Amino acid sequence: MKKYLFTIAAAVAVLSSCGKDFLTEEPNLAQSDVLTLSTFDGLDKATAGAYAPMASTNWYGANLILSFEMGTGNARRWIEFDTHDSGRYIEDYAINFTPNGTSPIWGQAYYVILAANQVIAHLDDAGIDASQQEKSNLKAECLFLRALAHFDLVRVFAHPYNYTADASHLGVPYVTVPDANAKPARDDVATVYSNIITDLLEAEAIIDPSYVRSGVKDKKATVTLEAIQALLARAYLYCNKNAEAITYATKVIESGKFQMWDAEDLADAYTVDVPTGGEVIFEIYNNTSSSYGTGLENVWGMTYYEQYSDCGVSNDLLELYEDGDARADLISTDKEGNGLFTMKYAGKGLGAVDANNVIVLRLSEMYLIRAEALVKTGGNAVADLQVIADHRNATAQPANIEGVFLERRKELCWEGHYWFDLARTGHDMDREDVSGTAIKHLAAGDYRWARPIPQREFTVNPNLIQNPEYNKN
């Protein structure tokens, strides 16, 4: 009997060891983490994929642009006309957000952050067969995506940099390591900006200056040296580092890689599928065949007057333009002559469900960043403002803080800037041409300048603190 038991025990031991391979069934139609992240090709594709969710309607594909434009005087819901009232973006127009009904960017941005962090965490693993520069280029892309995601998170879910004197108020968790068990607390706003800038500076330092991801359709929708520098210019401006903002805006302007659109080219510039030349430094490429951002609720479907078009333009905005300003032509009524709508996302003419690219960074913003930083530091911004005016058939604004601010609104309206510009510069939000019961005024410093963090996060992460006022219930 003893011998018998021993034999069985030995059999079990042998079979268990051969069982390890037998008991492994790898999924073939989805790649395991291990497989994806163990080769350079896998890491390269994981980087290419990390861009994709930015096109989601939860982020650049609609929400980050529209939800915030709708809270300003740039927008109006034309509820007088049934065809422009599908019941969407009502709360955004009313600036009425609760922890259970808030911006969807939270989950989407952290998803991209995970995708980027996974690549960064494995780039230096042994066995990744690629040159240092090839690895650095991927890392630079991922650092940029991580920085941009956190930048959007902090400007959406936290009060602006100047909210406290030392920016010590609550920002967002800055996540740099993939960890399924992490329950991070919110970093303060100063830390978040400091980390954004650190990531971008590293990316700038390591990227091949001529690097463009190979195989892409739209070269402007991939991270380049200038995209990194342009985002740095904006990040510096947002945290009042004006000298650095000037430096980086200048680097981009003087790179010579971008040209101001002429007034007569403006209308077409927003509806091309793949831009060549022109102002775009970095954009989100949209196409019906993409994994994200398709469907009728994308930025095209929500603004184009033939579609849902809940997100219309107000007379407040239209009235800002002088006669002949080419930018006024980017605002149109529908075919019946009703309402006002932006033509910045009027489709590419590619199919039944169309999808416009969403510009994140472009050249005129660089001039406006430099102009603003110059004005703030006592410099002369006349030339920069003149560049804008010359290319828009418009009169240059006076080179003071309000002049730059007005020019920014006229130039960058419906590209997702105005709400954040109001917030960071401490302006009240005022609007006249409103429909329904939407509020006309939101004072600077109001709690609503920061969106509430989704309620579900508090039930699973005890370390998070909600933004002020949203906890009242």
Q: Which of residues 221-260 bind other proteins (CB under 8 A)?
A: 221-222
CB 109 within 8 A of CB 157: no
Q: Which of residues 430-469 bind other proteins (CB under 8 A)?
A: 454, 456-457, 459-461, 464
Q: In the set 96, 168, 259, 291, which binds other proteins (CB under 8 A)? A: 291
45 binds other proteins (CB under 8 A): yes
Q: In the set 61, 71, 73, 173, which binds other proteins (CB under 8 A)? A: 173
Q: In the set 2, 25, 127, 132, which binds other proteins (CB under 8 A)? A: 25
131 binds other proteins (CB under 8 A): no
CA-wise closest residue to 425 among 161, 65, 69: 161
400 binds other proteins (CB under 8 A): no
Q: In the set 62, 154, 167, 175, which binds other proteins (CB under 8 A)? A: 175
**Dihedral (CA of 319, 320, 322, 326) sign:** negative
Distance in angstroms (rounded) separating the CA atoms of residues 354 and 347: 5
> Which residue type is seen at 248?
Y
* Least Cβ distance, residue 217 to other proteins (angstroms): 3
Number of Cβ within 10 Å of residue 333's Cβ equals 14
Which residues neighbour 373 within 8 Å (Cβ) at sequence distance 6 or greater? 236, 237, 242, 243, 245, 246, 249, 379
Distance in angstroms (rounded) separating the CA atoms of residues 388 and 383: 9
106 binds other proteins (CB under 8 A): yes
# binding residues, other proteins (CB under 8 A):
74
Q: Is the Cβ of residue 291 or residue 400 nearer to other proteins in the bound state?
A: 291
* Least Cβ distance, residue 103 to other proteins (angstroms): 12
Q: In the set 93, 97, 111, 414, which binds other proteins (CB under 8 A)? A: 111
Q: In the set 127, 215, 256, 349, which binds other proteins (CB under 8 A)? A: 215
Question: Which DSSP state fits 196?
Answer: H
Burial class (CB in 10 A: 0-12, 13-18, 19+), 125: exposed
Q: In the set 151, 193, 248, 292, which binds other proteins (CB under 8 A)? A: 292
Binding segment toward other proteins, per CB under 8 A, in 74-82, 90-98, 210-218, 330-338: 210-218
168 binds other proteins (CB under 8 A): no
107 binds other proteins (CB under 8 A): yes
393 binds other proteins (CB under 8 A): no
The pattern of x and - marking residues 352 through 391 that bind other proteins according to CB under 8 A reads ----------------------------------------
The pattern of x and - marking residues 47 through 66 that bind other proteins according to CB under 8 A reads xxxxxxx-x-----------
Binding segment toward other proteins, per CB under 8 A, in 13-21, 121-129, 244-252, 413-421: 13-21
Q: Which of residues 302-321 bind other proteins (CB under 8 A)?
A: none
Distance in angstroms (rounded) separating the CA atoms of residues 96 and 94: 5
Q: What is the dihedral of CA 258, 364, 62, 140, to 10 degrees?
A: 50
46 binds other proteins (CB under 8 A): yes
Binding segment toward other proteins, per CB under 8 A, in 45-53, 64-72, 249-257, 439-447: 45-53
CA-wise closest residue to 366 among 257, 234, 454: 234
* Least Cβ distance, residue 32 to other proteins (angstroms): 5
Q: Is the Cβ of residue 257 or residue 456 nearer to other proteins in the bound state?
A: 456
What does each C-alpha distance from 76 to 4, 98, 156, 167, 191 come to in angstroms? 85, 21, 21, 33, 36
CB 95 within 8 A of CB 73: no
> Which residue type is seen at 118?
Q
CA-wise closest residue to 190 among 155, 239, 150, 241: 239
Binding segment toward other proteins, per CB under 8 A, in 107-115, 137-145, 230-238, 395-403: 107-115
Give strand pairing partners of 341. 332
* Least Cβ distance, residue 330 to other proteins (angstroms): 25
Q: In the set 180, 337, 378, 441, which binds other proteins (CB under 8 A)? A: 180
275 binds other proteins (CB under 8 A): no
Query: Does an H or E element contain 386, and which?
Result: helix 382-390
Binding segment toward other proteins, per CB under 8 A, in 27-35, 66-74, 224-232, 239-247: 27-35
Angle between helix 363-376 and helix 225-238 axes, rounded to 10 deg? 30
Question: Which DSSP state fits 22?
Answer: H
Q: Is the Cβ of residue 67 or residue 162 nearer to other proteins in the bound state?
A: 67
Q: Is the Cβ of residue 29 or residue 165 nearer to other proteins in the bound state?
A: 29
Distance in angstroms (rounded) separating the CA atoms of residues 94 and 69: 12
Q: What is the dihedral of CA 404, 406, 221, 50, to 10 degrees?
A: 100
CB 368 within 8 A of CB 411: yes
Binding segment toward other proteins, per CB under 8 A, in 79-87, 111-119, 302-310, 315-323: 111-119
114 binds other proteins (CB under 8 A): yes
Distance in angstroms (rounded) separating the CA atoms of residues 406 and 419: 13
Q: Is the Cβ of residue 370 or residue 451 nearer to other proteins in the bound state?
A: 451
Query: Does an H or E element contain 231, and which?
Result: helix 225-238
Q: Is the Cβ of residue 126 or residue 460 nearer to other proteins in the bound state?
A: 460
Distance in angstroms (rounded) separating the CA atoms of residues 298 and 286: 10
